[in-house]
Amino acid sequence: MLTALGAAFPGRSPTIADIFNNQTVATLAASLIADAVGTAQVVRLRATGDRPMLYCFPGLMVNTREYAPLVRRLGPDQPVTGFVCYSLTDARKSVVSVEDITARYAEIIEKESAGRPCAMLGWSWGGVLAYEAARMLGSRIDLGFVGMLDVCDIDVSFAVGALPVLTPEHRRRLQDNVASWLERSPMRADWEDLFRRMDPELHEQFLAYVAAAPDPLPLDGPGVGSKEYELWTFVDNTLLYRRYRAQPFDCPIRVWLAGNSVERGLNHVDWQRYSRRVEQVTVIPGVTHREIVDSAAFHDSFAASLRPEGARDGL
């Protein structure tokens, strides 16, 4: 849709946030004609309501609409603002660290919520961003709690020190395979830039990842919905995450885990390593990492946490 709109309106750069903030063809058309697109940083999942603002941080390669069922459950009095994942915007071109990504979100939160209570929720990778935003803002906002929704640490295949065992012959074949693929890739410049930023350990891990992948390396980039762009984003995000070092910050944290993730032994972030104020850990049974954000049981539990009688620090 974005590609088609860009072709139909040369010189304008509508974003995913523009599409979701204009819920009818008429309002989107009006914004395009007025050239009032391309600047939105957030999606107003619900713009009305008297309760403290809830800020929702995205997982990787998702666009905030995954929170829509939760927003409906929370009701008309709960305003909710969502952030579009940086990898779906032009901002990705200037991102070099987790702190770069988070600073944009923190600036918006401080501008809107200074002196007023708010809460945060991060699903998957978004939990790391929510925590870092809370740490950056510190006492400048009145934070009720940070909700962590099935937040896992870096994939074990790409963990620092997790070196794969590749024979010289196997490594050479993999390198030849990657080189041949790179010559045909429409995202060649992006991949070459990413490879230059990799250390030898990560490059070795990437070769092992290619060897274990069930499908050939994709060649359908660079569109946002392509498998090649998704792979590039995953590896680029891994590089950002490997360089990130979370600093201790005693913000109130409440954790929700997917039952399937716990059963599989996924590497969830232990938030007690960073905050002495982990107030609850709730397992939602019978759901996977992807399903928990749509789970009615999670929605009910989270809604209870937001209720004034069950919340802390002014919420």
Instruction: Report, as an integer, the average pLDDT of 253-273.
Output: 96
Instruction: Report, as an integer, the average pLDDT of 111-119.
Output: 89
Sign for the pseudo-dihedral over CA of 304, 305, 309, 315: negative
Instruction: Report, as an integer, the average pLDDT of 59-82.
Output: 89
pLDDT of residue 312: 44
For residues 214, 219, 222, 227, the Cα torsion angle rounded to the nearest 10 degrees is -20
pLDDT digits (tens, 9 = 90+) for 264-278: 999 899 999 999 999
pLDDT: is 286 or 160 the higher one?
286
Distance between CA 68 and CA 20 in Å, rounded?
Answer: 11
Which of these, 314, 297, 306, lies nearest to 78 by C-alpha position?
306
CA angle in degrees (0–180, nearest 5) for 241-244-246: 120
pLDDT of residue 94: 53
Cβ atoms of 142 and 115 within 8 Å: the answer is: yes
pLDDT of residue 314: 41
pLDDT: is 160 or 50 the higher one?
50
- Confidence check: pLDDT of 175 > 60: yes
pLDDT of residue 198: 92
Distance between CA 117 and CA 161 in Å, rounded?
Answer: 41
Select, from the ranges 23-32, 97-106, 183-192, the one with the highest average predicted confidence (pLDDT): 183-192
Q: Where exactly are the structural domains of the chain? A: 1-40, 41-156+243-306, 158-231
Distance between CA 278 and CA 257 in Å, rounded?
Answer: 14
Which CATH code is given to the segment(s) 41-156+243-306?
A: 3.40.50.1820
Instruction: Report, as an integer, the average pLDDT of 223-233.
Output: 86
Which of 129-138, 192-201, 211-220, 304-313 has the weakest average pLDDT?
304-313
Distance between CA 231 and CA 227 in Å, rounded?
Answer: 6
pLDDT of residue 43: 85
- Confidence check: pLDDT of 95 > 80: no
**Other Cβ atoms within 10 Å of 259 Cβ, number:** 18
Distance between CA 62 and CA 129 in Å, rounded?
Answer: 14
pLDDT of residue 211: 93
